[in-house]
Every structure is written in structure tokens, then in C-alpha cells.
Amino acid sequence: MAQAKSHRLRKEERLEARVTPTQKRLIERAAELRGTSVTEFVVASAQEAATSAIKDSEVMSLRDEAREVFINAILNPPAPNKAARIAAERYKKNMGL
């Protein structure tokens, strides 16, 4: 089983990036301060940034009054208006439902 797991985690993909000398020195210094290689530092940093970007895109955060309005709309949705009823009927007809 351990063999199968290590096979799944095998690093087969490669990333390349061109950086300025200043950027390279900065990255090398940061990696050294963290006690990692430049590659480990860059991969970990890119993964953190990617995770954060995806979360920012996919997660909606609401505060105070906006949260209350949203929860109330979910728990007590308004009745569909005429346009919504017509659209639902058209959808059912088009989908053969």
C-alpha cells in the first residue's frame, strides 16, 4: 500500500519560470530563511497562492446584515413571480419534463 501511495505522489510535472536577478535573490533568501530549497519554497508558495485564489473565487463571505438577508431568503424564499413561473414552464417543456 505504501508503494501505491508513493507512486501517486510522484512528481512528474515540471514548471519553469523566468525571473529577474533581483527576484531570484529574493526567492533564494526567503527559501534559506525557511530552511528549504528554492524549488520547495517556490512550489509551496505557488500552491498556497493557487489555493487562496481558488478559495477567493469560489467562496462567498457575507457579514452582518447581508448574511441575515441571505439566510432569510434561503429559509423563507419568496413565491415565484409570473416571469419565473413562465420560465419554469418553458424549461420543463424544453426538457421534456
Amino acid identity for residue 15 in this structure: L
Measured distance CA(20)–CA(10) in Å, rounded: 30
pTM above 0.85, yes or no: no
Between CA 35 and CA 43, with CA 39 as vertex, the angle to 5 degrees is: 100
C-alpha cell at 75: 429559509
| Confidence (pLDDT) at 49 | 98
Which pLDDT tens digits describe the chain residue by residue (97 residues)? 555 555 567 888 999 999 999 999 999 999 999 999 999 999 999 999 999 999 999 998 899 999 999 999 999 999 999 999 999 999 999 999 8
How far apart are alpha carbons 27 and 29 in whole angstroms? 5
pLDDT at position 22, please? 98
Amino acid at 36: T
pLDDT of residue 4: 54
Tens-place pLDDT, residues 22-50: 999 999 999 999 999 999 999 999 999 99
